[in-house]
Amino acid sequence: MFRNQYDTDVTVWSPEGRLLQVEYAMESVKQGSACVGLRSNSHCVLGALKRSVSELSWHQKKLLEIDDHMLVGIAGLTADARTLAKYMRNECLHNKYVYGTPMPPHQLMADVADKHQRTTQTYVRRPFGVGLLVASVDPLTQKPHLYQTCPSGNLYEFYASAIGARSQSARTYLEKHHETFGDASRDDLIVHALQALVGCVSGDDELTKENASIGIVGKDEKFTLLEGDALQPFLDRLELKGGDDDEEEAGDDAAAEAEPMET
């Protein structure tokens, strides 16, 4: 990463046609704890690693409810994520109040992405320092959708994805297994999400019912959060599969994670 006079102002183009401040903001996403998302034809599941500030604190929430049919997983600056989640909740409430129906996810995501874009084109603000994985069910079609935002204002739709620290390991797992996700049962999806998280735990720690968190939305099923003891049955199934993943190779994390701002 080269550094020069073009990288301290978000409204300044580098001679190569890049916005370096936006790229730096994207670095902050890689420093949050990992978050994974995947979907079948009927459900969308998010899994996240909760990070505890100290033994005395509650774990920080990594999965935030937006509405009955939508939840958000975050990696990056918590404060920025909370602000965005608040905006999304307000939009959902407003839509229900004005139109009497739940907010269509694709429409909300376009608004959220535009909110990101604006911070990249004016010099009075900074780009957001957070990436969001959004699990949702379309209120009309009852189809699950998994969206991912980026500080650049880009918006992606994924079959399965992972963001945050050490998320390359999760992506490798997801790529290997994603063809089976379409018809997977609700429970199998949860196990896949947890299994993908295993490699994202730092150092000698393990994935436990204390640091894992699962959120589910699905066809005709409202938002459910699974934490603590409710996770144990799924974690138990996980251990049976452990050996299978050992042979995976992490690859080059930085390269794999690079998402171009252009398309």
Within positions 130 to 189, which residues make up the interface with a copy of itself, using CB under 8 A? 148, 152-161, 171, 174-175, 178
- How does strand 144-149 pair with strand 130-137? antiparallel
Q: Which residue has the tokens 């939305």?
A: 217
Q: How far is the CB of 133 from a copy of itself (least distance, A)?
A: 12
> Judged by CB under 8 A, which of 12, 93, 230, 254 binds a copy of itself?
12
Which parts of 50-69 interact with a copy of itself (CB under 8 A)?
A: 51, 53-58, 60, 62
Residue 40 touches a copy of itself, criterion: CB under 8 A: no
Distance separating alpha carbons of residues 160 and 34, to the nearest angstrom: 14
Question: Residue 175 or residue 244: which is nearer to a copy of itself going by CB?
Answer: 175
Q: Applying CB under 8 A, does 116 fall inside the site for a copy of itself?
A: yes
The residue whose two tokens read 């550094």 is: 3
Shortest separation between residue 105's beta carbon and a copy of itself, angstroms = 14
Distance of CA 109 to the CA centre of its chain: 13
**Alpha-carbon distances, residue 79 vs 76, 127, 130 (angstroms):** 9, 13, 9
**Rule CB under 8 A: which of 82-101 touch a copy of itself?**
82-83, 86
Q: Site size for a copy of itself, by CB under 8 A?
A: 87
DSSP string covering 160-172? EEEESTTHHHHHH
Q: Tell me which residues in 189-218 interact with a copy of itself (CB under 8 A).
A: none
Q: Where are the alpha helices (DSSP H) in 178-231?
A: 186-198
**Quick one: which segment of 133-141, 218-226, 227-235, 252-260 binds a copy of itself (CB under 8 A)?**
252-260
- Contact between 219 and 43 (Cβ < 8 Å): yes
Window contacting a copy of itself (CB under 8 A); options: 48-56, 93-101, 206-214, 230-238: 48-56
- Dihedral of CA atoms 237, 238, 243, 248 in degrees, nearest 10, equals 140
